[in-house]
Each structure stands twice: as structure tokens, then as C-alpha cells.
Amino acid sequence: MLQSAQPSADTTTEEADRRVARRSEELHLRNFDLNREYTLTVQVSDGDGLVFANRYYLTPGKTVSELGRIPPGEYEVRVELDGRRQQTATCEIDRTPRETALVEVGNGTVSLTQGLYR
């Protein structure tokens, strides 16, 4: 008999995250635009300075993940799209999907949020 993978009502959010994925990426980038590519610059900083920085060329529909590059902690994440549009957010990053920095681009704009499943 197959059992459902759905968490029960009394399962905590953290337990549910562990069921969804044993380990999640720290940074997840998505290009939702199917007709346009973008250049995206990402900087992740803590109170002591820059922890991670990279530049990405996202072709139409491309998804990129960074795994094992940023230690767990609270960070200021700054993204810049094509040298024009910027977003900055404070994100708690660890190994769970709800604490992954999510960057989405499309239609000439960029968004930055915390968590893969909102």
C-alpha cells in the first residue's frame, strides 16, 4: 500500500521541508522570459563584507542554482539586472527550501524573495 507524502496537520514546517528535500540550494535563479536573455549580477554580504558574488547570463527559460557556496546565515542579497534594475533583500539562507534566496527575471524586471515555495 502506498502512503501519501503529504505532511500531517501536526507536522512542523521544518519537518515538512525535510520531507520535500534533504538539502536545497542557497540561491535559485529563474528566467521566465521565453524570448529574451538577461545578465544578472548577484552579491551576498554579511556584517563582515562580501561572502559570494557572481554574474550570470540567463538564456530564455534558464534556471541556475548555487549549492554549497554560501554558509547558513542571515545575508543582504543584492541583484542587478542588465546593469539597470536592482533589488536588495535580507534573506536567511540555509539548507531548506523555505530559506533559499529566489531570484526571478522576466519582462525586463527582477524580483528577489526568500523561499522556493510561497
What Å distances lie between residue 34 and 62, 71, 102, 107, 113, CA to CA? 9, 32, 19, 9, 21
Burial 59-92 (b: 16+ CB within 10 A, else e): eeebebebeeebeeeebebbbbbeeeeeeebebe
pLDDT in tens, 13-71: 556 545 544 567 899 999 999 999 999 999 999 999 999 999 999 999 999 999 999 99
- What's residue 118's pLDDT? 57
pLDDT in tens, 95-113: 888 889 999 999 999 999 9
DSSP 97: G
* Pairwise pLDDT comparison (35 vs 1), residue with the higher score: 35
- What's residue 1's pLDDT? 40
